Structure 1
Amino acid sequence: MTSILADSSKSMRTDRNTYVGNRFVHVKNPHLDSMDEDILYHLDLGTKTHNLPAMFGDVKFVCVGGSPNRMKAFALFIHKELDLEGNEEAIQDICAGSDRYCMFKTGAVLSISHGMGIPSISIMLHELIKLLYHAKCCDVTIIRIGTSGGIGIEPGSVVITDTAVDSFFKPQFEQIILDTVVTRSTELDKELAQELFNCSKEIPGFPTLIGHTMCTYDFYEGQGRLDGALCSFSNEKKLDYLQRAYEAGIRNIEMESTVFAAMCGLCGLRAAVVCVTLLNRLECDQINLPHEVLLEYQQRPQHLISIFIKKHLGQHRLK
């Protein structure tokens, strides 16, 4: 097997500059042009069965997160925050015909679940990006909101990712395609991260910071946990690894950010990752906070994103 650097950060910056001001979502697959119909199987949508430009052409903000219930709650929350017409009962799951993901649209905001881990979010992103492409969407900002484990920071802290890194602390995403290891850049939009951080200054009550996010393929051994069904290392090795991660600028760990950053960057999407931390991994492995505390923590990224969206829509007022 050979390893190649498929998409350099330089080429990604060139693509982004090409689309600034009128940045259409684009795909990098020449085979799509020859297809009579594109079936977005896991979203229960298609180019022949649905008028995608009419349904989604006005989308400017896409928020994705692991849990279907959380993304429905976000759709209801942002509907209220934007003071949109219609009652909450009108916000229905667009992907109800599929049991893989859920999707809700309210105004210019799309809220979608992506499941857990790189394979699940990757499948969703392929079909979401094609959906936005077929719908002729432009100037779209996509933000992953979720939960994570913190490193050296207090539980409840919100981390805005400046760089997504792998388990070797490298800013890259590796994927085996046929018999080749393809390496893609995980560069995220630094200006967007700073803009989100500036929005956080208007929210009292919880700390927000910009830092690296490590993406792993596993919740247990892959993240250095001692409490899984398998464990092949000592507590000392675990703490040494996590301390080295902290020294490398990593402030939280989750399981989706590298492929998210890689795919969004290649397809002209302005992207960010905003995750709340549920524990400090230097102190413990298990999440044991009360349900009501966890629920409040999970709402913190939603509040931050709502301020960002309202500012862009000219609806935000300083309190």
Structure 2
Amino acid sequence: MEHKSNCSSLVHVRNPHLDTLKEDFLYHFSLGTGTHNLPEMFGDVKFVCVGGSPWRMKSFIQYVAAELALEDPSLDYPNICAGTDRYAMYKVGPVLSVSHGMGIPSIAIMLHELIKLLHYSHCTDVTIIRIGTSGGIGLEPGTVVVTKQSVDATFQPRFEQVTLGKTVVRNTDLDPSLAEELLQCSKELGQFETVIGNTMCTLDFYEGQARLDGAFCSYTEEDKHAYLTKAREAGVYNIEMESSVFAAMCNLSGLRAAVVCVTLLDRLKGDQLSSSHEVLHNYQLRPQMLVGYYIKKQLKVKSEHAAK
């Protein structure tokens, strides 16, 4: 079942036990090496976009279909993972769009199976981008943040995984050249502000992000502001709940990766969303507009090179 190749552009798995499996069933995708022809289904994938909401990822694939003029964007794209209610997956041309739910555990489960899927499909030169929403620190709502490094709640660039009772620390750097390419794409679009900065990844939405409006709170408003100010001084521009394990797992598998999140509010000014539904919807479209533009630009460059 192992695909033998020395090509460094392959998606790597680092588990010798997989070689002993007669077949591997990707349970949370309802896909498997023994039940599906994965290379035929996914072998042409070059871009993977992941985000929390199934609705958002279906919206993204429809947007990409229109931008790339690959298929009719009004089509009702089928959920490839319809056999499970855990995640949703959509595909158009070389673009795969997958939901990951909320928080580190949910995206980690999805990434284990996604990385194996890409590996079994013999995909090469894959770029993966997480698109989502976040709380900003000292930024105008609607600003898009391309993550430089994912840091933990103590502002350290690391992801800690407890394995067999021992803490394993993994690197959370993201591809700096990809971040710069995305920033340049935003400048070319000229429709919204985009910055590169560190992203704080937390284990919780409320106390873990210094909110004052959860069911429990043991600190003052002054404590909150002092903490968030310290975070900004450490280079943190926004806060979300998935980037650390995303960066760590992409590093391990050799995937070129980026995190692109729009800020829905400035956490220094409040904890609850006050913008209208229409404004928030517009904000949430910005990461997919930026990533869609990037993909379109990359495919144009590749087609021009192929024509020469």
Q: CA RMSD in A?
A: 1.5
Alignment gaps of 5+ in structure 1: 1-18
User: In structure 1, what is the equivalent of residue 200 of structure 2?
Assistant: 214
User: In structure 2, what is the equivalent of residue 85 of structure 1?
Assistant: 71
Secondary structure in structure 2 of the residue aligned to 1:279: strand
- How far the C-alpha of 1:204 sits from its partner, in A, is 2.3
1:1-319 maps to which residues of 2 (within 5 A)? 23-86=9-72, 88-89=74-75, 91-314=77-300
Given residue 129 of structure 1, which amino acid in structure 2 is its aligned partner?
I
- How far the C-alpha of 1:87 sits from its partner, in A, is 5.8
Given residue 209 of structure 2, which amino acid in structure 1 is its aligned partner?
Q
Instruction: Please give the per-residue CA displacement for 1:65-93, whole angstroms capped at 9, x wherever unaligned.
Output: 00000000000000010001356435210
Cα distance in structure 2, aligned partners of 1:297 and 1:89: 24
TM-score (norm 1): 0.91
Cα distance in structure 2, aligned partners of 1:79 and 1:28: 33
Cα contact 2:127–2:255 (8 A) shared by 1:
yes
Given residue 200 of structure 1, which amino acid in structure 2 is its aligned partner?
S
- How far the C-alpha of 1:172 sits from its partner, in A, is 0.2
Alignment gaps of 5+ in structure 2: 303-308
User: In structure 1, what is the equivalent of residue 305 of structure 2?
Assistant: none
Given residue 47 of structure 2, which amino acid in structure 1 is its aligned partner?
F
Instruction: Please give the per-residue CA displacement for 1:45-76, whole angstroms capped at 9, x wherever unaligned.
Output: 00000000000000000000000000000000
Q: How high is the sequence identity, in percent, across the aligned residues?
A: 63
Cα distance in structure 2, aligned partners of 1:21 and 1:42: 28
Secondary structure in structure 2 of the residue aligned to 1:313: helix
Change (3 A) 1:69 1:85: closer
Cα distance in structure 2, aligned partners of 1:200 and 1:20: 35
Change (3 A) 1:51 1:20: closer
Change (3 A) 1:153 1:86: closer
Cα contact 2:186–2:192 (8 A) shared by 1:
no
Cα contact 2:62–2:73 (8 A) shared by 1:
no
Cα distance in structure 2, aligned partners of 1:50 and 1:119: 26
TM-score (norm 2): 0.94
Cα contact 1:150–1:252 (8 A) shared by 2:
yes
Cα distance in structure 1, aligned partners of 2:35 and 2:23: 9
Cα distance in structure 2, aligned partners of 1:52 and 1:133: 9
Change (3 A) 1:124 1:199: same
* Stretches (4+) displaced over 3 A: 19-22, 85-88
